[in-house]
Amino acid sequence: MSFIELSNNLLKEFNYDEQTILLKKLLLIPYPIPDIPQENVILLLRYGIKEFNVSNIENNIYFYKLISLLFSKRQLKFSTNHNIINEIIHYLLTNFGKNKKEQIENLKALSFVLYENGSFCEKYYETLINKLVCLANKNDLPGLEIKRLAIISLGNLCFKTGSKLDSSQYKTIYNTIYNHIINNQNNISLNQSKIINSSLRVYQIMISEDKEILAKSKNNLIYLYNFIFNDYKSIGKRDSNTKLNIYNSNNNSNMSISYIVQSDSEISDSDYYSNSRVKIDNYNKIKLNALYCLQAIIKSSPKLFYPYWDMFIPYVNNTKKSLLTLVQNDPVPQVRATAITTLTCMVDGAKPYLAVATDSHLKTNFLSLSERLGIQIDLLHNGLIHALKTENNISILNLIIKCIYILVQNSSYNKISTNYPVIIRDNMVPLIFHDDDKIKESALHCINILLDSQFDSRFLTKDLDIPKELLKSFENIIIFKEKNSYTIINTIISLIKKAESNIVKAESYSIISTIAKHDVEIIKENWNIIKELIDSGLNDNNELIKINTLKVLESYTQAINLNYDQWREIFTLDWWEDIISYFLTQINNDNAIIRATSCDCISNIPEIIFEQMNKLKQIPCITIPLNHSQNDRNFNVRAAACRTLGTLITYKFLSNDTMFIIDVASTIQDTIKDNNLIVRIRSSWLYGNFCDNLIFISDSQESVSILNEWFNNNMIKNLLESGISAAKDNDKCRASALRGLGGIVRICPKDFINSQINNIIKEVVLVTKKNAETGSVKIRWNSCHSICNMFKNKNFPIGKALWTSPLIMSLLKSIKNCRNFKVRINATNALIELKVKEQYGNNDLIKNTLECVLSSLENIDDLANTRYGEYKYQQQLKEKLYILLDIVMNIFSEISDENSEEIKSYNNRINNIKQSQEMEELISKNPAKFYEDFLDTHKDEYNK
């Protein structure tokens, strides 16, 4: 009978024995059941809540088991069924009987109900925590299973609950778990090991859910350390001398990926361990769960963990307690796999931390941080390469390769004498001949990362030491003059030519793309062969191969375009037109990534080539991105098309194409309000470039008549509205939008400004002012730049409008208080545009400006709160402030009595500043002569 039939029968049944039979049958159904009707599940649960109570122990137990099954197998969807959770929790708490077996099944059911549903049962938080904490802390129970299930339930309550549980509630749960962890460090019994495992799982959950718990985690590292490295029960020693046969995979030793991924649920964890090739006992589970906790700490706050690297990768040689020793020697595959994953978490994103690493040369008792990190980088590389050679488990071998290439991405080798990139390359090359395709792919990906992160042309030209027995697979591929000479590029080309699997071919094309990005010359030398591979790849049925093939062209054309003056004699119009045919063939492909990459390729066409192109190719390169930017169903394609248009709009010859300009303006108005943020970011960049181009057109005598044809008041208003919208959007949209707004206002005609002074012009000013005061450095810089452009319009109503004073005061605030010198320079540049007193509107504003400039110059050498990178801009800021000082002082003199004390005071301050400046110039020209004259002048004072 089906679930629906059985549940319907049970709903109608009131006979105790018949209920028992039906419950047993429901438990025997293979779960999960696809497309199970939600109303049937809810009716069944509500029937059980009502029917099975304290007096009915046997059926209670069966019903608890049914609850566990329905919740563990996700048979209930909670988008609109939150009430049933509270009903079940109330039922389980109320029916927690005295019978031990019943209590155990009750708590199991509760733990499954709470898993991922903690956020739906707020009204029971206090009751649940009090009850479960009491059970978790009891020591007089006839067995520890109830205590263990109470701990698990506490963890499941926390899982994905976040801030709905307050800090005091998290603290209560944490204290309970913490006591179980710290009080069971030595001589752990089998029962205690189960409690510790459950406590560690809960601790792992809490690290991710509550920041205060995370902050306390550094104090618990010593306990995790003990759990990871103490051998509570030895189950044998792994033979570290076993060498991996890297050319033949042993299918018997393969470990399923699922065996090395941590599970979130109690049930699946037990399945995981029972199915493992090596039976995991509770003592090794402790090691695993401690490693998982360590991973959670590292992922949640890598910087918090940096000072404790020494605990887990000791830089002293006489210790065996290291994650690297676990990777190399632990007999349990899951432990080795988890240790590698933990190392990967440590190095992933640690590039700023590892950047200071250096070799240790001085034999002293003290080692600096940089020297310790240098030793640890040595240990990591040597340990992982050793593990690479000795590991015989395919899945773990894959994890080791992944750890190595993430280490490469985050290491800085400038101050390390050992050439680890070459060592890694030489250990990876044989693996690309491995029988297992996943190993081949991972090894190729590692080589790809090496090329991209540590690019060195010698990597490409040096012959690889490949054993002859491996080269036999290339015997029928005769594409190079010297058959025994294999560089990386030759090897990769041969791999593609060879009948390899799709994942290997795709990664090989990706390597050629990386080489193309860094070294045009190498690709040029092998272009005829590579072009054949491109033709083959673009016609392949595999989508990933097509994508990576097109990315070869994208990388290559980008590299050529970046230095086109160097390559213009080689890559002529004919060459480009041949390549452009590939772009146009793929730009309407069904695959969105291919369409987006084709748009990126078009943006790599040099301006001079684009202008000379055959119209049959030039026109589609313009019209298709215009169409894709607005109409493509995929946001990545719309974003790529906007980026392409943002490049094309900077091409001067297209500035005279009125239709193109109008089409781009229309595109901006649509895409800048797109539902997808990435599209809006690209559209904002297009908007900024478009407005910069309008300034260029307005300044050009030849093009200004074209601008007047379409730049009417309605168009101006639409463009300003688009810019205002983007300037209020995400931070990544604002900078370009603000740049564009300033450009539009700069070229606005007088009649539009006069008609909109208190409408859209006011909106532009206010949004720009707000960003100048509260945005990021990039946003503030662009805001000040925008205001500067506005002031360059002689019809801009500065001094007449009510917003004059707030706008100027905002610039003064930037000059005086901003820590970034580039922002201060741009704010100064804006005020330099104000030449007459009428532009300030009132005398107090002129005085405030003068006071601000003088104060800034007097304190310009106070660099206490200035970042080191800003020092180089100090002189430039000083020069700009002097220019502004002269302008503002002249204006102030016009409105003041030249004999007043105020004028005299300002003149004295200016003279002191200028004398100080003259002194600096004198010192800088000949410091030795200056000090000699100074001592000679003041010798009488020194001789007293």
DSSP code of residue 356: T
Q: Which stretches of 526-614 are DSSP H helices?
A: 527-538, 543-562, 564-567, 573-586, 592-602, 607-612
- pLDDT at residue 372 greater than cutoff 50: yes
Give the least confident one: 378-387, 687-696, 863-872. 863-872
- pLDDT at residue 254 greater than cutoff 60: no
Mean pLDDT comparison of 482-491, 824-833, 851-860, highest-scoring range = 824-833
Higher pLDDT, 247 or 286: 286
| CA distances, 528 to each of 479, 480, 533, 571, 854 (Å) | 11, 12, 9, 14, 66
pLDDT band at 935 (very low <50, low <70, confident <90, very high): low
Compute the distance between CA of residue 372 and CA of residue 376 in angstroms, rounded to an integer: 6
pLDDT band at 424 (very low <50, low <70, confident <90, very high): very high
DSSP code of residue 208: H
pLDDT band at 390 (very low <50, low <70, confident <90, very high): very high
Query: How many C-alpha atoms does 922 have within 13 Å on its Cβ side?
Result: 12
For the record, the structure tokens of 824 come out as 């201060």
pLDDT band at 914 (very low <50, low <70, confident <90, very high): confident
> For a pLDDT cut of 90, what percent of the chain falls above it?
58
DSSP code of residue 838: G
Q: Let me know whether 812 and 943 are in one domain.
A: no
Residue 841 maps to a domain = yes
Q: Choose the final residue of a domain: 418, 441, 467.
A: 418
Give residue 183's pLDDT. Answer: 76
Q: Choose the final residue of a domain: 385, 418, 451.
A: 418
Query: What's the mean pLDDT in 1-8?
Result: 89
Contact 587, 595 (CB under 8 A): yes
> For a pLDDT cut of 70, what percent of the chain falls above it?
86
Query: What's the mean pLDDT in 471-489?
Result: 64
Higher pLDDT, 750 or 931: 750
Contact 595, 639 (CB under 8 A): no
Helix (H) or strand (E) holding 626: helix 615-631
For the record, the structure tokens of 95 come out as 């029916």
Residue 336 maps to a domain = yes
Higher pLDDT, 269 or 582: 582
Query: What's the mean pLDDT in 438-456?
Result: 89
Give residue 35's pLDDT. Answer: 84
- pLDDT at residue 239 greater than cutoff 50: no
Residue in this structure with the two tokens 């190729």, named with its chain if needed: 444
Give residue 413's pLDDT. Answer: 85
Q: Let me know whether 764 and 877 are in one domain.
A: no
Q: Let me know whether 241 and 339 are in one domain.
A: yes
Question: What angle (nearest 5°) sits at the alpha carbon of residue 883, between those of residues 879 and 886?
Answer: 135
The pLDDT tens digits of the residues spanning 576-608 come to 999 999 999 999 999 999 999 999 999 999 999
Which residues have C-beta within 8 Å of that of residue 239, sequence separation ≥ 6? none
Give residue 839's pLDDT. Answer: 93
Compute the distance between CA of residue 630 and CA of residue 624 in angstroms, rounded to an integer: 10
Contact 286, 196 (CB under 8 A): yes
Residue 43 maps to a domain = no
Q: Let me know whether 870 and 913 are in one domain.
A: no
Domain with 341, as residue range(s), is: 236-280+313-418
Task: Report the candidate in 601, 639, 810 with the shortest Cα–Cα distance to residue 733.
Answer: 639
Q: Let me know whether 702 and 764 are in one domain.
A: yes
Residue 549 maps to a domain = no
- pLDDT at residue 469 greater than cutoff 70: no
Q: What is the pTM of this model?
A: 0.81
Give residue 90's pLDDT. Answer: 93
- pLDDT at residue 267 greater than cutoff 50: no
Give the least confident one: 271-275, 312-316, 331-335, 890-894. 271-275
Contact 902, 851 (CB under 8 A): no
113 three-class SS: helix
Query: What's the mean pLDDT in 789-812?
Result: 94
- Considering only the C-alpha atoms of the chain, give the largest distance between any 2 of them, rounded to a whole number of Å: 119
Residue 719 maps to a domain = yes
Query: What's the mean pLDDT in 21-28?
Result: 93
Residue in this structure with the two tokens 């067995």, named with its chain if needed: 143
Compute the distance between CA of residue 791 and CA of residue 786 in angstroms, rounded to an integer: 9
Query: What's the mean pLDDT in 328-346?
Result: 94
Give residue 73's pLDDT. Answer: 86
Cα torsion for 70, 75, 76, 79, to the nearest 10°?
Answer: 150
Query: What's the mean pLDDT in 523-530?
Result: 93
For the record, the structure tokens of 574 come out as 């004919």
pLDDT band at 867 (very low <50, low <70, confident <90, very high): confident
Residue 590 maps to a domain = no
Q: Let me know whether 248 and 336 are in one domain.
A: yes
Give me the long-range contacts of 124-129 (CB less than 8 A, separation at least 24). Answer: 124/86, 124/89, 124/90, 124/93, 125/157, 125/165, 125/169, 126/169, 127/93, 128/89, 128/93, 128/153, 128/157, 129/154, 129/157, 129/169, 129/172, 129/173
Number of domains in the chain: 4
The pLDDT tens digits of the residues spanning 87-130 come to 999 999 998 877 888 889 999 999 999 999 988 899 999 999 99
Compute the distance between CA of residue 889 and CA of residue 900 in angstroms, rounded to an integer: 14
Q: Let me know whether 410 and 360 are in one domain.
A: yes
The pLDDT tens digits of the residues spanning 643-691 come to 999 999 999 999 888 999 999 999 999 999 999 999 999 999 999 999 9
Q: Choose the final residue of a domain: 735, 766, 795.
A: 795
Query: What's the mean pLDDT in 59-82?
Result: 84
Q: Let me know whether 822 and 790 are in one domain.
A: no
Say how many C-beta atoms besides its own lie within 10 A of residue 522's C-beta.
Answer: 19
Mean pLDDT comparison of 425-434, 672-681, 919-928, highest-scoring range = 672-681
Residue 2 maps to a domain = no
Q: Let me know whether 706 and 789 are in one domain.
A: yes
Residue 808 maps to a domain = yes
DSSP code of residue 648: H
The pLDDT tens digits of the residues spanning 146-186 come to 999 999 999 999 999 988 999 899 999 999 998 888 876 66
- pLDDT at residue 856 greater than cutoff 60: yes
Query: What's the mean pLDDT in 36-55?
Result: 87
Q: Let me know whether 266 and 406 are in one domain.
A: yes
Q: Let me know whether 759 and 717 are in one domain.
A: yes
Q: Let me know whether 891 and 920 are in one domain.
A: no
Mean pLDDT (the chain, rounded): 86
pLDDT band at 363 (very low <50, low <70, confident <90, very high): low
Give residue 899's pLDDT. Answer: 79
